[in-house]
Amino acid sequence: MQLTATILAALLNTGVLALPPDTSHKRAISSGPCPEFANNPLCYESSFLGVVYSGCKAPLANVTLGTDLHAICVSQGNIAKCCQDTYVGYGIGCEDPEGTSTGTD
């Protein structure tokens, strides 16, 4: 009886461990104007080969939608991007905000 219970417990544990991870929470984490891995919303002045963006500044207002970020940056004469990191005013690893496509790379 104990051997049967041990085998059953082992099979159940294996089944639980074999299930794919729950990723339903990721969308909530990455909600906002930017994709998950490029989560710094910025307005930039120019780009170098679409890889490094110069003149990066934070938008003048808090934004929750990519279209809002785009509108704010355009009103400042800049272009909206979401960057992985910044270094001395340069954005690195940048992408278009959620729901927009500037096509300026």
For residue range 47-67, what is the model confidence (pLDDT) as tens digits?
887 778 899 888 988 889 999
The domain limits of the chain are 32-105
Of the candidates 41, 31, 46, the residue with the CA atom closest to the CA atom of residue 84: 41
pLDDT at 21 over 60: no
b/e map 13-35, b = 16+ CB within 10 Å: eeeeeeeeeeeeeeeeeeebbbe
For residue range 33-50, what is the model confidence (pLDDT) as tens digits?
998 888 899 999 988 877
The pLDDT assigned to 100 comes to 83
Tokens in use for 103?
């096509």
CATH topology of domain 32-105: hfbii hydrophobin (3.20.120)
Measured CA to CA in angstroms, residue 55 lies from 11, 47, 48, 52, 69 at distances of 57, 9, 11, 10, 16
Beta bridge partners of 91: 53, 86
pLDDT at 25 over 50: no
